[in-house]
Structure 1
């Protein structure tokens, strides 16, 4: 690719990633995406433009530096995904930005020293935030939580808690705003200032229905008739239920009836069911969307 094609395609990739991250939790660095992240992207792309890309295509053009542009039909689909009529419309919207970038001329000798001073001061003035999480019973949450750090006029940054249930972040700002989410705890937006960072323990509210579902998927239930009734109660009749397969082998759609049958037949696979994500209708007190995988 020539430099112009490289610039335009990199802009398109950035726009596609930002679009996906508006609705899904994943690393802002696409090179860190795993098979599940790529699978969710394929599903999201299909829901928007009724087309899919293969995992091999994704690795070739997104996770690696491509030597040439994708086919024009794929460029048109990706441009449509981010809100443009086609690839030409996307290029036209960003061509002026590229020209302005080329026209900028900086007097490097005159500004190098001030910039260096600002950089050093900024690096030395970073504030460090550390947070750990507890549940309603003040028990430490060691299961992995998704952290989305919100930034002014910039795309969010995505992190996960570590093996001891905490996360650390450094910034020159005195305040941090982030969203905590998990399949088993209610999503919460946290705002903290550096002068309050001594209160680093944050309590999250358990999503009781999701925890109940997790409990019942363990298979350690003696009264299977009662078990089935409780599962049917917490899942909406029109729930959208997706089973994801390892190594990005595809996604299978389950009806409520099929999913309940899976959970109420005592087999060895029950304790290997892992909930990936879910949406909850708090007015109806039922799960309306569910993603799961069998390890």
Structure 2
């Protein structure tokens, strides 16, 4: 009979399998699970279970190859529910039954049926999409107030068709959608602007302008990191206003060396005095709390 750490390893495998149903192009393991995969998983659980797990928790409990201690039961319940179980108790009960090999065979058979049906649906959707495609469309992304193009590195654009989210390359502030169907949408995301998801305009014009509303606090933080402000006291006071007390900062280190974690006090101390290291940091993601203050930051250190 499997012990609890072994059962948790089995649950981690179930989480990966369920993640691959939403992102079939990921065929790796937890060691190969990237920061983008982690964010995708957090968003999936938030959307389906209305529960939130932190990036730090995933690094602590899911990324390691082995786990000596079992996480809290409430977190195990969230993962089990994400995989289709009522909770940890049901997961343990099912996987400790003596006829586990038979159940696994039934599961495999069910997976084959699901894969077969899924392939048929994909072929049908592909055929239907081919029939519905029209001309390409170019989306120019601008700041709502300045009407200036937003820097390519500051935005990510995704094309959404049939609930599939595909990255679109941005060049010179423009994103070109090669194949537009009546249901095509685009999602524009940026750490410095509020996310927008809109339908591609159904018109005969080739170009479309999309105005993005700036996040003032995020742009202020970017300016702090890139400027040469010498008045550290002023900078400290301004940071106190825009950063939430429960701030979490994840800094992704270069050369796959892992990540560093900072709280508000630690991160503010790094920003008070400008350094060349701070200026080389690239903000990847910012999240605000209900009061508009910055609550989470993900940074790439070059």
TM-score bin, normalised by smaller chain: 0.5 to 0.7
C-alpha contact (below 8 Å) 1:150/1:157 kept by paired residues: yes
2:226 and 2:156 mapped to 1: Cα distance? Answer: 23
1:280 aligns with 2:280: no
Instruction: Using the TM superposition, give the Cα deviation of residue 245 of structure 1 relative to its aligned residue in structure 2, in angstroms.
Output: 0.9
2:242 and 2:129 mapped to 1: Cα distance? Answer: 54
Q: Aligned runs of 1:85-124 on 2, under 5 Å? A: 85=91, 92-93=106-107, 95-96=109-110, 98-99=112-113, 122=130
Q: Aligned runs of 1:224-235 on 2, under 5 Å? A: 224-235=232-243
Give the direction of change, closer, same or farther, for the CA distance of 1:120–1:284 in structure 2 (3 Å limit): closer
Give the direction of change, closer, same or farther, for the CA distance of 1:274–1:18 in structure 2 (3 Å limit): farther
Instruction: Using the TM superposition, give the Cα deviation of residue 216 of structure 1 relative to its aligned residue in structure 2, in angstroms.
Output: 0.4
Aligned pair partner of 1:147 in 157, 174, 199: 157
TM-score scaled by structure 1? 0.66
C-alpha contact (below 8 Å) 2:247/2:296 kept by paired residues: yes
C-alpha contact (below 8 Å) 2:184/2:200 kept by paired residues: yes
1:83 aligns with 2:90: no
Secondary structure of the residue that 2:151 maps to in structure 1? coil
C-alpha contact (below 8 Å) 2:132/2:181 kept by paired residues: no
Instruction: Using the TM superposition, give the Cα deviation of residue 203 of structure 1 relative to its aligned residue in structure 2, in angstroms.
Output: 1.0
Q: 1:63 — aligned with what?
A: none
C-alpha contact (below 8 Å) 1:234/1:286 kept by paired residues: yes
Q: How many residues are aligned here? A: 243
Q: Which runs of 5+ in 2 are unaligned?
A: 1-13, 42-53, 66-78, 85-90
CA RMSD of aligned residues (A): 4.2
Secondary structure of the residue that 1:201 maps to in structure 2? strand
Q: 1:69 — aligned with what?
A: none
Give the direction of change, closer, same or farther, for the CA distance of 1:267–1:223 in structure 2 (3 Å limit): same
Query: Residues 77-115 of structure 1: CA distance to partner in whole angstroms, max 9, x if unpaired?
Result: xx9595144887787456235248779xx9xxxxxxxx9
Aligned pair partner of 2:296 in 265, 269, 289: 289
C-alpha contact (below 8 Å) 1:228/1:264 kept by paired residues: yes
2:128 and 2:58 mapped to 1: Cα distance? Answer: 46
1:90 and 1:279 mapped to 2: Cα distance? Answer: 41
2:175 and 2:286 mapped to 1: Cα distance? Answer: 23
1:140 and 1:252 mapped to 2: Cα distance? Answer: 33
C-alpha contact (below 8 Å) 2:159/2:184 kept by paired residues: yes
2:129 and 2:299 mapped to 1: Cα distance? Answer: 47
1:45 and 1:255 mapped to 2: Cα distance? Answer: 12
Instruction: Using the TM superposition, give the Cα deviation of residue 41 of structure 1 relative to its aligned residue in structure 2, in angstroms.
Output: 7.2
**Which structure exhibits the higher relative contact order, with contacts defined as CA atoms closer than 8 Å and separated by 6 or more residues?**
1
1:241 aligns with 2:249: yes
Give the direction of change, closer, same or farther, for the CA distance of 1:95–1:266 in structure 2 (3 Å limit): same
2:245 and 2:198 mapped to 1: Cα distance? Answer: 33
2:225 and 2:151 mapped to 1: Cα distance? Answer: 20
Secondary structure of the residue that 1:261 maps to in structure 2? helix
1:91 and 1:45 mapped to 2: Cα distance? Answer: 35
Give the direction of change, closer, same or farther, for the CA distance of 1:191–1:124 in structure 2 (3 Å limit): closer
2:256 and 2:283 mapped to 1: Cα distance? Answer: 16
